[in-house]
Amino acid sequence: MVKVVASTFSALLLTISAVMAQINVADYPTINEVPPVTSAQVQAWLKEVDLSGAPNIPVLTAPKGSPPACVVPAVANSCVWTCDNCPSDDITSCAVPNTWGLTFDDGPSTATPTLLDFLKTNKLSASFFLIGSNVIQYPDTVKREVTEGHHLASHTWSHTALTTLTNVQIVAEMKWTEKAVMAATGLRLKYMRPPYGDINNRVRYVLKQLGYTPVDWTGDAFDTNDWRIGSSGFTEAQAVSVFSKSLDTYVNSTKASGFYCLEHDVSATTVSAALKLIPQGISRKINFANVATCQSDASPYQSGSNTIATTTSGSSTASSTKTSGGTATSTSSTGSGSSGNNTSSGPKVVSAAGSQVASIGVVSAIAAAAAALLA
Ligand SMILES: [Zn+2]
């Protein structure tokens, strides 16, 4: 089994290395700007998508780097998640009980490798909601995320509030990011998170036409506020304290559903916070999983190699890799004492606190089911 896994791992690396060569920054739009819709590439994409049924909801305005103000009274049929408390059919919670759906937004950045080291040590798998502008700057980090068993998703090209963009601009934001990640990894993204959580029914329609499923976070209590650290006297210790109270409330609930947090791998500050926040979940015996595992989605990409990796709080892991041709090439399901992140060896299985922890069944069972589906 170890040889099979190692062989598959090598094949995956070779495949990714081959497609890596296709990244050429000059082929992409200006970073952190809404891509022009007049380019031949965007015009070609627009021919592939039918926007004729988009609801007639006005395009809002906002300063660059901010979401728009809430419209009061609410626009009929708009269903803005952050303003109207209206998630429509967005995913807003992890379907696995007692589970922290681990998500990081706004990367990759120079801080991401530190987070990846921590996740690897603790045998945790996350979903990374990537900004396309950053993907073309740090493609090797995106490649590393895949090879270490994480799940990739979209966070648009320029991180502009989507309700302030036209339908065709939304297409450009999503497709350029999709192209960049495809070039880096061979994976065509399927899940996305709207910047600022800013989404309404018009945005949802366009996303759906492009094959994307929005994943919000589980409300204000699960915003870690890592983005506020360093401003207005708000400290990392305060963020950890506030979030710990949310975790206590969750632990004392029925925990029938898991939750998704708002966290970021955008800077050393937010990554430092993550390294303090995650142990708060581990010490409360909350399991961890990426979006693919939370939603029991054995095909968490629109196309390309499917990688499912799941871990609990450092105790039990399973991963499975499927090639783009649809043939399962390996399945690894491991308990304590070995690694499950697509590698044949790894660090000892210990919790962040350094103590050996028992196998946690539910996430492992789902991972095994996912592996069975792939096999
Ligand atoms: Zn963001």
> Mind listing the pLDDT tens digit for each residue in 164-189?
999 999 999 999 999 999 999 999 99
159 part of the active site: no
Q: Could you say which of 105, 216, 265, 297 is catalytic?
A: 105
- What is the whole-number distance in angstroms between the Cα of residue 107 and the centre of ligand 1? 9
- What is the whole-number distance in angstroms between the Cα of residue 172 and the centre of ligand 1? 17
Domain boundaries, the chain: 2-23+90-374
Q: Could you say which of 159, 198, 264, 265 is catalytic?
A: 264
132 pLDDT above the threshold of 60: yes
Ligand 1 ion: nearby residues, β-carbon < 5 Å: 105-106, 195
Angle value at C-alpha 12, between 10 and 13, nearest 5 degrees = 65
Contacts of 233 (CB under 8 A, 6+ apart): none
Nearest Cα to Cα of residue 92 among 295, 248, 277? 295
> Mind listing the pLDDT tens digit for each residue in 10-43?
444 444 444 454 689 999 999 999 999 999 999 9
Q: pLDDT averaged over the chain?
A: 82
- What is the whole-number distance in angstroms between the Cα of residue 55 and the centre of ligand 1? 25
Give the residues across from 264 on adjacent strands.
105
> Mind listing the pLDDT tens digit for each residue in 68-94?
999 999 999 999 999 999 999 999 999
Q: Are 152 and 142 in contact (CB under 8 A)?
A: yes
- What is the whole-number distance in angstroms between the Cα of residue 232 and the centre of ligand 1? 20
Q: Which phi and psi (to 5°) does residue 328 adopt?
A: -70, 135
Q: Are 309 and 290 in contact (CB under 8 A)?
A: yes
CATH fold, domain 2-23+90-374, is TIM Barrel (3.20.20)
- What is the whole-number distance in angstroms between the Cα of residue 193 and the centre of ligand 1? 8
How high is the pLDDT of residue 328? 29
**Cα(182)–Cα(118) distance, rounded to whole angstroms?**
26
Q: Where would I find the H helices in the chain?
A: 2-20, 40-47, 81-84, 112-121, 132-135, 139-147, 167-185, 201-209, 236-251, 268-283, 291-294, 361-374
> Mind listing the pLDDT tens digit for each residue in 51-69?
999 999 999 999 999 999 9
Q: Write down the pTM of the prediction.
A: 0.79
How high is the pLDDT of residue 22? 67
Contacts of 70 (CB under 8 A, 6+ apart): 80, 82, 83, 84
1 pLDDT above the threshold of 50: no
Retrieve residue 264's tokens. Answer: 């970021």
- As a whole number, mean pLDDT of residues 350-363 equals 25
Cα 82 to Cα 197, 204, 306: the distances in Å are 6, 14, 31
105 part of the active site: yes
> Mind listing the pLDDT tens digit for each residue in 297-341?
999 999 986 554 444 443 333 333 332 322 222 323 322 222 222
pLDDT > 90: percent of the chain: 74
Q: Are 111 and 268 in contact (CB under 8 A)?
A: yes
155 pLDDT above the threshold of 50: yes
pLDDT > 70: percent of the chain: 75
104 pLDDT above the threshold of 80: yes
3-class secondary structure, 289: strand
- What is the whole-number distance in angstroms between the Cα of residue 106 and the centre of ligand 1? 5
How high is the pLDDT of residue 23? 85
